[in-house]
Amino acid sequence: MALDVRAGNDLAAARSPHVRDVIPVGEAWNRAFATGIADPNPYDGVAFGQLDLWAHDQYHASTAGYYLEALVIFGVVTHHDPATLGAQEQAAADLGLSADEALALQRVAHDELANQAPSPTAGHPPAVAEHCAAHERRGVSAVP
């Protein structure tokens, strides 16, 4: 489902000058499932050693799911690698996540962001994005 949502978001981004970037939260969830960090089926219980990314209603995210979402958004908006936050990252601790859980989710976010084609204006305010686009139209890169 995340890939279908991403396809729709990419289509909307391509058709709107107001959408600068699509943040790959759904793809990060898929990566967490594929790598065995998180249990992919919210309806059959949580497999031993895996995180549950869903809340009790199997519709909204759990604390771990929202933490992974926040890590991906953090990486896109700040251009900082979520994996650099480390085991002692305070928000994870405040949320009740263990150091190992925090590190695993940080690694998933890192890997997913590294897998994405970077947008040269991602995370920049609209004025910066427009400034960069104007430079690119003239054949000059405005973003390192």
Q: What is the pLDDT of residues 67-86, one digit of tens each?
A: 999 999 999 999 999 999 99
**How much is the pLDDT for 10?**
84
Strand partners, 54: 61
Residue 57 lies in a domain: yes
| Mean pLDDT score, 126-140 | 48
Which is nearest to 71 in space by CA: 32, 100, 96, 108? 108
Residue 111 lies in domain = 22-118
Judge whether residue 103 has pLDDT over 50: yes
Asked if 42 and 35 count as a contact pair (C-beta separation under 8 A), the reply is: no
**How much is the pLDDT for 113?**
96
Number of domains the chain contains: 1
When comparing pLDDT for 58 and 93, which is higher? 93
Residue 83 lies in a domain: yes
Residue 71 lies in a domain: yes
Residue 67 lies in a domain: yes
Residue 105 lies in a domain: yes
CA dist 2 and 26 (Å) reads 5
CA dist 53 and 51 (Å) reads 6
Judge whether residue 29 has pLDDT over 90: yes
Judge whether residue 99 has pLDDT over 80: yes
Residue 31 lies in a domain: yes
Residue 63 lies in a domain: yes
CA dist 106 and 50 (Å) reads 15
**How much is the pLDDT for 26?**
94
| Mean pLDDT score, 128-137 | 49
